[in-house]
């Protein structure tokens, strides 16, 4: 095991990783921007290095400054958290070249999964079902039209370098394709520096279900069951849970075995997530793979009783996965709510400012992952996630009951938060019946 771990991140995830490091007796290094001088994650670490200005480009996205901090503090390993540089193959490669362990997948795996066309092709070759569509970049509107004629309308144009919903366009009919292609191509070029697009048959009102996978350097790959993540707004997840309510047993079995087959096919190591769309009949289709630890990993931890971050540290140090598949069991139900500094009454407008009052719930079945305290400032420069509230129970009903109680006990003054919205979700009949899909917010399911 390495001696010193630097976390190239901030907020709750930096603190989560430090906690795991401390359990193993590892020395911890924080990096922080000017805006984060007083931040909790800085105080959690044994050593902290200021790396630059508040804008992420000048600090948390600056690979050179982070590597300098790692060399200066003699860090043996870097954990990237999520977001920022976590899925940068170039960063993972630079870390490796500096003789430092990257706590995550190999750069090659990050690169392959970052190219959504390549990911789709590799997963399809591995026997994982994908939606009908193109298996390469389409050259122009006419190329897209030829594919769409085969698979049927509506179709969706997606950016090869996209993911997370950026640069997608739904197209209803052939006469709209040329213009939609030009617009999506231009947007992808501007956002990613490459305009490559591919085409898929569009699936209406799907559920988003993902499978946590884990690989070690000896080639073992296991899954840690699924998470239902359909309650999203503009591709930002708001509520995640496991088990996925009402998922047919055959779908569940198909998803998990596809996820493992897909991860094995690319020699995947460390924590990753295979995302799928699930249709009303239980059919499932590979969407993309996230080559990182995800925000919602605590849901899986509460359900299985495993510690994913500890596992990441062990596996990155070259140790085998400690659990055979048979030891990874969904024993409980867990639900996570993401509390953001956003005003749901104003279209989820960001609400930066200073936290004046902060009272967070605790108790049986309640877990909080927080990056803030009273007096913290919520900067416009970063993701406005304040904390995650995770409830678990023996059953989904028990988890919901605990979650509803915990949401009612949260007191936050100084910024607006998504809590009023989350309370409505948890109180709703649709949610309580487990009848969720990705278009619920657009359809106004949880409006006040
Ligand atoms: C789709 C789709 C329907 N059909 N692909 C959105 C994010 C990106 N990862 C893929 N996304 C979608 N791809 C086909 N062929 C609908 C979505 C989608 C979505 C997916 C998951 C969760 C929420 C979503 C919200 C809107 C659209």
What is the per-residue pLDDT for 50? 98
pLDDT digits (tens, 9 = 90+) for 404-426: 999 999 999 999 999 999 999 99
pLDDT of 190 strictly over 80: yes
- The whole-angstrom separation of Cα 319 and Cα 309 is 14
Which helix (DSSP H) or strand (DSSP E) does residue 226 occupy?
strand 221-233
Is the CB of 438 within 6 Å of ligand 1?
A: yes
- The whole-angstrom separation of Cα 296 and Cα 285 is 21
What is the per-residue pLDDT for 164? 73
Minimum CA distance residue for ligand 1 atom 24 = 438
Angle at Cα 95 formed by Cα 94 and Cα 97, nearest 5°?
60
What is the per-residue pLDDT for 291? 98
- Residue among 340, 302, 317, 366 nearest 422 (CA): 340
CA–centroid distance, residue 165 to ligand 1 (Å):
7
Any idea which residue has 């799907």 for tokens?
206
pLDDT of 166 strictly over 80: no
- In b/e form, how buried is each residue of 105-137, taking b as 16+ CB within 10 angstroms? bbbebbbbbbbbbbbbbbbeebebebbebbeeb
Phi, psi of 137, deg, nearest 5? -70, 140
From 148, 188, 226, 277, give the residue whose CB has the most ligand 1 atoms within 8 Å, as the site to mutate.
277
Q: Which residues contact 249 (CB under 8 A, 6 or more apart)?
A: none
What is the pTM assigned to this prediction?
0.98
Any idea which residue has 């630097």 for tokens?
6
Which helix (DSSP H) or strand (DSSP E) does residue 30 occupy?
strand 27-33
């Amino acid at each position: 095991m390495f001696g010193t771990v630097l976390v190239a991140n901030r907020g709750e995830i930096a603190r989560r990783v430090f906690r795991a490091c401390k359990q193993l007796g590892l020395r911890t290094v924080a990096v922080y921007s000017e805006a984060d001088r007083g931040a909790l994650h800085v105080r959690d670490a044994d050593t902290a290095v200021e790396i630059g200005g508040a804008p992420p480009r000048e600090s948390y996205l600056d690979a050179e400054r982070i590597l300098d901090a790692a060399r200066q503090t003699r860090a043996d390993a870097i954990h990237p958290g999520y977001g920022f540089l976590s899925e940068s193959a170039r960063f993972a490669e630079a870390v490796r070249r500096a003789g430092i362990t990257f706590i995550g997948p190999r750069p090659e795996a990050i690169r392959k999964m970052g190219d959504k066309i390549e990911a789709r092709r590799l997963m399809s070759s591995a026997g994982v079902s994908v939606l009908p569509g193109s298996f390469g970049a389409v050259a122009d509107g006419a190329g897209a039209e030829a594919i769409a004629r085969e698979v049927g309308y509506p179709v969706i144009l997606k950016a090869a370098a996209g993911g997370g919903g950026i640069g997608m366009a739904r197209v209803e009919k052939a006469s709209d394709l040329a213009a939609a292609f030009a617009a999506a191509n231009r947007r992808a070029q501007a956002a990613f520096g490459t305009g490559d697009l591919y085409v898929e048959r569009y699936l209406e009102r799907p559920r988003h279900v993902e499978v946590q996978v884990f690989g070690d350097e000896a080639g073992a790959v296991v899954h840690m069951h699924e998470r239902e993540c359909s309650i999203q707004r503009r591709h930002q997840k708001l509520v995640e849970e496991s088990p996925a309510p009402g998922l047919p047993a055959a779908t569940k079995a198909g998803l998990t075995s596809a996820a493992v087959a897909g991860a094995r096919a690319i020699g995947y190591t460390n924590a990753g997530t295979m995302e799928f769309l699930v249709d009303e009949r239980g059919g499932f289709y590979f969407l993309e793979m996230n080559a990182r630890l995800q925000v919602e990993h605590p849901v899986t931890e509460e359900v299985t009783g495993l510690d994913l971050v500890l596992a990441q540290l062990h596996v990155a140090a070259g140790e085998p996965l400690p659990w055979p598949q048979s030891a990874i069991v969904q024993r409980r139900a867990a639900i996570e709510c993401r509390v953001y500094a956003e005003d749901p009454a104003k279209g989820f407008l960001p609400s930066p400012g200073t936290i004046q009052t902060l009272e967070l719930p605790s108790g049986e079945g309640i877990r909080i992952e927080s990056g803030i305290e009273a007096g913290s400032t919520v900067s416009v420069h970063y993701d406005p996630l304040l904390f995650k509230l995770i409830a678990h129970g023996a059953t989904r009903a028990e988890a919901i009951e605990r979650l509803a109680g915990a949401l009612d006990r949260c007191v936050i003054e100084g910024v607006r938060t998504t809590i009023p919205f989350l309370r409505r979700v948890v109180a709703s009949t649709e949610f309580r019946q487990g009848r969720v899909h990705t278009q619920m917010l657009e359809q106004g399911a949880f409006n006040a």
